[in-house]
């Protein structure tokens, strides 16, 4: 079953704008992760946020986590054409291993020049 | 460079044939995983192995088989029992932190 659901399904912005995508989940988690997938390629891990953290930054990425609302958001600031990809959230229910990671359906981001 | 190598990148299968997808890693990771990705869907776990000579079924193991004879290798066989095998298959590994490193994927098409 799908634990994480991303919103929106697709997002189109211009270069330089910020992109925000959201992930909602259903059960308690140990951590939530974001991955990027370029078309026809494997996924690349971007950032992990633990259940006791509220916000985390990595370069142009900012992730927030609200465990009371069971939701997370990924903000990409000053988007570039190279950010065009699909972005997936993945939740770890409470194991600390990848064996129970559940992936959402993804947000397709298109950044145009 | 360390990483995960999947082969072949593209594979075509006739109905009734078994095919094997290769996954090799030189990251020295203990755990390895196979996922299936269909258009517009997230990844679904087929099988995983946390140690050599041991593996566990994931959410959609029916019609698939795996082996883990070496730490570096985790091949996936798509058998004729898998009724809808056309998909993008992703192999991944985990150093034990619960974070996945993925290969570039193999796209299987049934003719």
DSSP code for A95: S
Express each pLDDT in A57-104 by its tens digit: 999 999 999 999 999 999 999 999 999 999 999 999 877 678 889 999
Mean pLDDT, chain B, rounded, equals: 94
| Per-residue pLDDT, A3 | 61
- Which B positions 28-47 lie with beta carbon below 8 A of chain A? 31, 33, 40-45
- Average pLDDT value for residue range B29-56: 94
Report the alpha-carbon distance of residue B94 to residue B51 in Å, rounded: 11
C-alpha A50: how far from its chain's center?
Answer: 13
pLDDT over 60 at A2, yes or no = no
Cis omega before residue B8 (within 30°)?
yes
- Give the percent of chain B with pLDDT over 90: 83
Report the alpha-carbon distance of residue B23 to residue B32 in Å, rounded: 9
Mean pLDDT, chain A, rounded, equals: 93
State whether residue A47 sits within 8 Å of chain B by CB.
no
| Per-residue pLDDT, A1 | 42
| Per-residue pLDDT, B1 | 65
State whether residue A99 sits within 8 Å of chain B by CB.
yes
């Amino acid at each position: 079953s799908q634990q994480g659901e991303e919103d929106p399904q697709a997002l189109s912005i211009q270069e330089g704008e910020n992109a925000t995508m959201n992930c909602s989940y259903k059960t308690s988690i140990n951590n939530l992760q974001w991955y990027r997938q370029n078309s026809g390629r494997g996924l690349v891990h971007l950032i992990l946020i633990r259940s006791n953290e509220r916000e985390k930054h990595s370069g142009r990425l900012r992730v927030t986590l609200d465990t009371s609302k069971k939701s997370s958001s990924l903000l990409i600031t000053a988007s570039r054409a190279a950010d065009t990809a699909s972005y997936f959230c993945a939740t770890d229910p409470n194991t600390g291993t990848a064996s129970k990671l559940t992936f959402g359906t993804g947000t397709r981001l298109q950044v145009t020049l | 460079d360390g990483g995960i190598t999947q082969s072949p990148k593209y594979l075509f299968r006739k109905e009734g044939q078994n095919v094997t997808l290769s996954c090799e890693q030189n990251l020295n990771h203990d755990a390895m995983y196979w996922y299936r990705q269909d258009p517009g869907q997230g990844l679904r776990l087929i099988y995983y192995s946390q140690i050599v000579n041991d593996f566990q079924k994931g959410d959609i193991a029916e019609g698939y088989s795996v082996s883990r004879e070496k730490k570096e290798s985790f091949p996936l066989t798509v058998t004729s029992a898998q009724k809808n095998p056309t998909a993008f298959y992703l192999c991944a590994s985990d150093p034990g932190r619960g974070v996945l490193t993925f290969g570039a994927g193999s796209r299987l098409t049934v003719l």
